[in-house]
């Protein structure tokens, strides 16, 4: 049993962290240059041939950085449906994708091409009119599609569960990145802001909620990384572990931001501070695909009505 990263995986994370801290608006071409758009694409299709675990590291770091672009939509949502020649374009940075799984579609402002999921599989859509909607998280707008025609089938319905699991694991990791950053901001503020002659972090009404956030973030990371490992390994527990991870991590991220906003006082409530943007991403993650309560109802159905899980 080994639940730790390799030195190469640690290196990937620290490179991602420095790149994203130094680059305000990374382009798709830049991500391709770094090899990120091919991270989990097989080598035969021009990718790095790494696993979903390496991709997961990038999702966590991109969430932390509130990256604005089609990485999640391309890599987590659409990738399982793409045949090798289209994966090669993604790996080379020549194309990005988004996938319509319902009426509201993410990343229509940045994705090059559009796929649509239906009961009978995943299809490429061409000629559709894109309407990008006003979205609280400006870095990941939702949009609607009108018209257009499905020009070819990309994959059969068997990829749909894989898409669902990858999306949930990826969003759980993004949520961990968001929550961790909100916690760090809260700790920094509580250590430096003084009231009544002391840094406010000495007061337990401030420090204990931050300790709770720390506990929840660590638990969420354990669930999210385990879900990513299950996806990478095709483990039989992947379905429940991805549902559990997304449910817990989304609530953790929302609560982490809310506590950090409170710790920051008036400053945390301003438009200038980054906290509201982290908060809105957390809320976006909470809402997308399935809410924590609905994911828990999936889990409990397996526990109580099905055969149970180990």
Partner 1 sequence: MDLRDTPAEADFRAGLRAWLAANLTRELQGLRGGARRFEEFGREWSRKLYDAGYIGLTWPEEHGGQGAPYSHQAIFLEEMARAEAPGHIGVIGLGMAGPTIVVHGTEAQKARYLATILSADEIWCQGFSEPDAGSDLAAVRCGAELHGDRFVVNGQKVWSSYAHIADFCILVTRSDPASQGHKGLTYLIADMRAPGVEVRGLRQITGEAEFNEIFFTDVEVPVENVLGEIGSGWQVAMTTLLHERGTMGFSLTAVLEVSLRKLIALARERGADAVQRDRIAQLWIELQALRYTNYRALSQLMKTGTPGPEGSVSKLVWSEANQRLTKLALELLGPEAPLLEDDAPLGGYWQWHQLRSRGNTIEAGTSEILRTIVAERVLGLPRGR
297 lines the binding site for partner 1 (CB under 8 A): yes
Indicate the SS3 state at residue 262: helix
Q: Which of 110, 138, 112 is nearest to 125 (CA)?
A: 112
Q: Which helix (H) or strand (E) holds 121?
A: strand 121-126
- Report the C-alpha gap between 216 and 172 in whole angstroms: 13
Binding mask 167-186 for partner 1 (x = CB under 8 A): ----------------x---
223 lines the binding site for partner 1 (CB under 8 A): yes
244 lines the binding site for partner 1 (CB under 8 A): yes
Residues in the chain, overall count: 310
Crossing angle of helices 238-264/275-287, nearest 10°? Answer: 150
- Report the C-alpha gap between 196 and 251 in whole angstroms: 33
Q: What is the secondary structure of 176-226 as a DSSP string?
A: HHHHHHHHHHHHHHHHH-EETTEEGGGSHHHHHHHHHHHHHHHHHHHHHHH
Crossing angle of helices 238-264/204-233, nearest 10°? Answer: 160
Which listed range, 11-19, 39-47, 64-72, 224-232, lies at the site for partner 1 (CB under 8 A)?
224-232
222 lines the binding site for partner 1 (CB under 8 A): yes
Which listed range, 93-101, 123-131, 137-145, 194-202, lies at the site for partner 1 (CB under 8 A)?
194-202
Q: Which of 139, 128, 127, 211 is nearest to 174 (CA)?
A: 139
Torsion 202-205-206-210 (CA) sign: positive
> Which lies closer to partner 1 via its Cβ, residue 113 or residue 226?
226
> Could you say which of 49, 121, 148, 199 contacts partner 1 (CB under 8 A)?
199
83 lines the binding site for partner 1 (CB under 8 A): no
290 lines the binding site for partner 1 (CB under 8 A): no
> Which lies closer to partner 1 via its Cβ, residue 33 or residue 235?
235
Ramachandran angles phi, psi of 106, nearest 5° = -80, 155
Ramachandran angles phi, psi of 123, nearest 5° = -125, 150
> Which lies closer to partner 1 via its Cβ, residue 29 or residue 309?
309
> Could you say which of 29, 118, 151, 211 contacts partner 1 (CB under 8 A)?
211
> Could you say which of 157, 208, 236, 267 contacts partner 1 (CB under 8 A)?
208
> Which lies closer to partner 1 via its Cβ, residue 150 or residue 207?
207
Binding mask 248-277 for partner 1 (x = CB under 8 A): x-----------------------------
| Minimum distance from residue 76 beta carbon to partner 1 (Å) | 19
204 lines the binding site for partner 1 (CB under 8 A): yes
Is 38:92 a contact under the CB 8 Å cutoff? yes
> Could you say which of 25, 119, 147, 293 contacts partner 1 (CB under 8 A)?
293
Tell me which residues touch partner 1 (CB under 8 A): 1-6, 9, 53, 183, 187, 190-191, 198-199, 201-204, 207-208, 210-212, 214-215, 218-223, 225-226, 229, 241, 244, 247-248, 293, 296-297, 299-300, 303-304, 308
């Amino acid at each position: 049993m080994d639940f730790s990263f390799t030195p190469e995986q640690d290196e990937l994370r620290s490179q991602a962290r420095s790149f994203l801290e130094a680059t305000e608006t990374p382009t798709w071409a830049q991500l391709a240059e770094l090899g990120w758009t091919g991270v989990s694409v097989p080598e035969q299709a021009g990718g790095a041939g790494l696993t979903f675990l390496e991709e997961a590291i990038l999702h966590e770091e991109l969430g932390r950085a509130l990256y604005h672009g089609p990485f999640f939509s391309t890599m987590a949502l659409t990738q399982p449906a793409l045949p090798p020649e289209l994966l090669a374009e993604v790996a080379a940075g020549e194309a990005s994708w988004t996938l319509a799984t319902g009426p509201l579609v993410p990343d229509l402002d940045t994705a090059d091409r559009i796929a649509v999921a239906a009961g009978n599989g995943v299809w490429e859509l061409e000629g559709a009119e894109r309407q990008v909607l006003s979205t609280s998280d400006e870095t990941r707008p939702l949009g609607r599609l009108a018209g257009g025609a499905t020009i070819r089938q990309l994959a059969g319905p068997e990829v749909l569960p894989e898409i669902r699991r990858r999306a949930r694991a990826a969003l759980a990791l993004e949520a961990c990145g968001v929550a961790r950053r909100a916690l760090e901001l809260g700790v920094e503020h509580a250590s430096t802001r003084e009231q009544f002659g002391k840094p406010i972090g000495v007061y337990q009404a401030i420090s204990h909620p931050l300790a709770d956030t720390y506990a929840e973030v660590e638990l969420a990371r354990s669930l999210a990384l385990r879900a990513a490992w299950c996806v990478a390994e095709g483990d039989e527990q992947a379905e429940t572990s991805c549902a559990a991870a997304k449910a817990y991590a989304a609530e953790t991220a929302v609560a982490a931001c809310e506590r950090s906003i409170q710790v920051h006082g008036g400053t945390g409530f301003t438009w200038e501070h980054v906290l509201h943007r982290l908060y809105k991403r957390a809320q976006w993650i909470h809402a997308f695909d399935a809410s924590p309560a609905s994911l828990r109802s999936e889990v409990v159905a397996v526990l109580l009505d099905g055969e149970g899980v180990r």
